[in-house]
Amino acid sequence: MDSVTAVAKVALYYPLYYLLLGLLRILSFTFQILLTPVTIVGRVGLYFILLPWRFLVKFQAILTFLAVASVIGIITGVILHLTTDTIVELIHKMIVTPSPAFSADYSVTESASGDAGSSGDYEFRRKGRELFPRGGSISPILEEEEEI
């Protein structure tokens, strides 16, 4: 009985299969014709979307070099910045006493702000006389005095 039913099923499904296959081909062809403009527009859009990437691929080696150099430069700069800040803070925290010869001739006074955080906050004054007795400034050019 099984072989008879199998043959009957094949005999019934065979024409139905080819009928549906023909209908599917007709529908597929119709959809291909209707969707052709959409696929063309999609391909053109994809071409223009990927155009910058095609341009960048030509310069991949130099762009990779510049990117790695930038990252290394940033890391090195951050390390140097942190190192110098740490060294400056350590130097400012150290207590440096002036030598006796220096302290005999000069006195160190803090500025009006009262913060001794940077080297620009100190004023050095010579005891007993001014640094520039004639009111001039230090200059590498020697000026000759005119005789009248």
pTM of the predicted structure, to 2 decimals: 0.38
Check whether 93 has a pLDDT greater than 90. no
Break the chain into its structural domains and give their ranges. 1-57, 59-94, 96-126
* Non-local CB neighbours of 73 within 8 Å, separated by 6+ positions: none
Residues facing residue 110 across a β-bridge: 122
Give the model's confidence band at 50: pLDDT under 50 very low, under 70 low, under 90 confident, else very high. very high
pLDDT of residue 111: 47
118-143 pLDDT, tens digit each: 555 445 554 445 555 555 555 556 56
| Cα dihedral: 22, 27, 33, 36 (round 10) | -120
* Non-local CB neighbours of 89 within 8 Å, separated by 6+ positions: none
Query: What share of residues in the chain are helix, strand, coil (percent, to 5)?
Result: 70, 5, 25
Distance between CA atoms of 64 and 100, rounded to whole angstroms?
Answer: 60
User: What is the share, in percent, of the chain residues with pLDDT greater than 70?
Assistant: 63
Residues 89-96 have a mean pLDDT of 81
